[in-house]
Structure 1
Amino acid sequence: MTLAQAGFLLTTAIIGGALTAIAGGGGFVLFPALIFAGLPSINANATATVAGWLGCGVSLAAYRDELSAQRRISVVLGSISLIGATVGAVLLIYTPTVAFDRLVPYLLLFSTLLFAGGGKITSWLHSHLGELNQASWRSLIIASFIQFFIAVYGGFYGAGVAILILAALEMLGMKDIHKMNALKMLLMTCMSSFAVITFAIAGVIVWQPAILMMLGTIIGGYGGAYYARRLKQHLIKHFVIVVGFLMTCYFFIR
């Protein structure tokens, strides 16, 4: 790895860490950067997961107040995320690269539209399932079922998973974007933790760029989370939607 490549990967990781903390989508910065650096796509995907792992974890420090107010749902959904992400990571190892490359833009389009129309979907859920409340076990069971499949996708590929998490949380009646972001970062950390273990055992991680980019995502992740909490909620939501559509367009064109 040359000095120019190292500088490029570090800068990209800082941007990716901040983007993940604010709205999700950091994987769409980290993954292409590693491809440009010459890594095969499977190795780039696994290495990008490692690179974003500590960035997600460190950003939790900026959300400690929001997480302390919702401990039960954090424990339940966090545990489900560990299981689902492990399943997804194993699926990735045994899936041909061409197959998941073709699937990614469609999943992103679906998740972005889901988040953009979250208000209408929430109203539909309320009318058919009754009032959803994250403090009830009924709602936790529904949330756990949805989160398991999101976590499978998160372990399988990961890019855009933040948008899926935010969409699911909004459907389940959460209104505060800062609390949603706090849970998003917690669940993404849980997903990455077990995915990293699986990828490490399989030997598909390239550690030199992974460690360098891990440093960048730590810087960007904490800074992004810090400033995201000081922005107006509707601005953050609009930013998430714009990022989602931009990422979707990129991967349809790619």
Structure 2
Amino acid sequence: MLTLLLIVSAFFAGVLNAVAGGGSFLTFPALVLAGVPPLNANATSTVAVSPGALASAYGYRRELGRITEIDLPVFLGVSLVGGLLGALLLLWTPERLFEAIVPWLLLFATVLFAFGPKISTWVRQNFHVGHGAVLVAQFLIAIYGGYFGGGIGILILATLGVFGLTDLHAMNGLKALVSGCLNAVAVVAFVVGGAVYWTEGLIMLVAAMAGGYAGASVARRIPPPILRKFVILVGVVMTVYFFIEKA
């Protein structure tokens, strides 16, 4: 029964990540419900969903070639360093402390996912900053991504929008590339640190890849706003659940 829970949650996480994002709202709680400690569940969830982002980035390879406003190697390098630092920070966090802050991380990620587009629009309309400030912002976002990662796509898109990028397809491609790479470097840290539950992780990885492949056809049938509302609902339910468990 628990294996079925992992497969189903990872499959639909792959679908969501391919269409609207927010797959970690499914994989992380499913692992915790399956008995994986929260810190290990976060690391294992990252292993399960990271290949999908890189696959999406490959699909956007032509759009990525159109980006001229930003130094892509530097932007990617900053993201990799930040993602590694975030992953190491997670490994250095005592299990009990991480369990205490999980509800707050879920709450932040849920609010970010729910209001991210509006926040991103407001920021683009009211701010325009230089390349250095964008790199600093991306470095901090990458640390958060390596540590937990919920809603990181919204943060990356907002940062790119503030810098002045307007090609949404290119921005989505860069978002997928950056999140995939920083997740990959986080995975390396988690593997070296022994934080991954491999049996659960490999089961979910295969299911998430299948879900990501199916996501293309799902996108043609279900409007993304409906999927976003579903992700938000799951995030709210899981946040309430973990706050109750903490109490």
Please state which band the TM-score falls in when normalised by the shorter chain: 0.7 to 0.9
Q: Residue 60 in 1 paired to residue 54 in 2? A: no
**In 1, Cα distance between the equivalents of 2:179 and 2:150?**
11
In 2 relative to 1, CA 62–116 (structure 1 residues): closer, same or farther, beyond 3 Å?
A: same
Q: Is the 8 A contact 1:111 1:163 kept in 2?
A: yes
Q: Which residue of 2 aligns with 1:80?
A: 78
Which of 50, 56, 70 pairs up with 2:47?
50
Letter of the structure 2 residue corresponding to residue 58 of structure 1: A
Aligned pairs for 1:98-113 within 5 A: 98-108=99-109, 109-110=111-112, 112-113=114-115
Q: CA-to-partner distance for each residue in 1:108-153, whole Å, 9 max, x for gaps?
A: 2246434323222212114xx4xxxxxxxx43x3321111111100
Give the stretch that moved more between structures: 116-125 or 106-115. 106-115
SS in 2 for 1:169: helix
Offset at residue 226 of structure 1 (A): 7.3
Q: Which residue of 2 aligns with 1:161?
A: 152
Q: Which residue of 1 aligns with 2:236?
A: 249
Q: Which residue of 2 aligns with 1:31?
A: 28
Offset at residue 223 of structure 1 (A): 3.9
SS in 2 for 1:220: helix
TM-score by length of 2: 0.83
In 2 relative to 1, CA 91–198 (structure 1 residues): closer, same or farther, beyond 3 Å?
A: same
Matched positions, count: 236
**In 1, Cα distance between the equivalents of 2:86 and 2:92?**
10
Q: Is the 8 A contact 1:17 1:221 kept in 2?
A: yes
In 2 relative to 1, CA 74–226 (structure 1 residues): closer, same or farther, beyond 3 Å?
A: farther
Q: Is the 8 A contact 2:44 2:201 kept in 1?
A: yes
Structure 2 gap ranges (5+): 242-247
Q: Is the 8 A contact 2:29 2:238 kept in 1?
A: no
SS in 1 for 2:58: helix
Q: Which residue of 2 aligns with 1:41?
A: 38
Q: Is the 8 A contact 2:120 2:157 kept in 1?
A: no
Q: Is the 8 A contact 2:15 2:212 kept in 1?
A: yes
Aligned pairs for 1:152-191 within 5 A: 152-191=143-182
In 2 relative to 1, CA 172–224 (structure 1 residues): closer, same or farther, beyond 3 Å?
A: farther
Offset at residue 251 of structure 1 (A): 4.3
RMSD: 2.7
Structure 1 gap ranges (5+): 130-137
Aligned pairs for 1:155-234 within 5 A: 155-224=146-215
TM-score by length of 1: 0.81
Q: Percent identity?
A: 34
Q: Which residue of 1 aligns with 2:122?
A: 120
Offset at residue 77 of structure 1 (A): 2.2
Letter of the structure 2 residue corresponding to residue 32 of structure 1: P
